[in-house]
A and B are shown apart, each in its own frame.
Chain A
């Protein structure tokens, strides 16, 4: 199972919106209801930001939103803030009930 494809880096100015893509295949993202997004600050534990493609856990800002079209899922961060600077990983369940992560995207707030 190959890793999902994410851009290595995305940047934006405070207040702007950015979108991170996560491209898989018909065997994972394309057929999955279980796409998740995680935020990880340096030296910290990953934090679940989006689950089941579009849902936000309690306590996660509504500036974070998720979507999916075909084999590509996306995470959008609106109203970008300095604290959003971190690494972001997508994950998806697969047709064999396994999990695959994306390679990660470094978000920089300019």
Chain B
């Protein structure tokens, strides 16, 4: 069965960076896009970007351009989301989600979420 297992909770200071991992299993890792979505406490879902595990291509939401990097390590079927220059309003649960074989398709499988807390 398809599984996405994310790394554990993080506490960071403002200005620091965080790297969240997402280990995929149960399907062909390079065949499906990985999206990153975040949810601030009590707020809605916010799309951050996608990464194509086949070739590493990415597309980031304008809001995160210059601060986010999405990568992958294909041999270990793991995707990563790196967010730098953290601010307090980056405190959120970060989800990885498997999309379809095209970038535009919806996300049918989600990781369990990683809470990132930014606090001085």
Contact = CB atoms under 8 A, between A and B. Distances in A.
Interface in A76-90: 87, 89
Interface in B81-120: 95, 97, 103-108, 110-113
A33 B105 CA distance: 9
Interface string A81-110: 000000101010100111111111000000
A32 B104 contact: yes
Interface residues of B, number: 23
Interface string A30-57: 0011101010100001111001100001
Contact of B106 (A87, A91, A104): A91
Contacts, number: 65
Contacts of A100: 47
A41 to B, nearest CB: 13
A95 B7 CA distance: 32
Contacts of B59: 96-98
A10 interface: no
A3 B44 contact: yes
A48 B44 CA distance: 15
Given A45-B95, A45-B110, A97 B105 contact: no
Contact of B47 (A51, A87, A98): A98
Given A3-B44, A46-B45, A52-B105, 11 more contacts: A1-B61, A36-B106, A45-B111, A46-B107, A48-B106, A98-B59, A98-B61, A99-B35, A100-B47, A103-B44, A104-B45
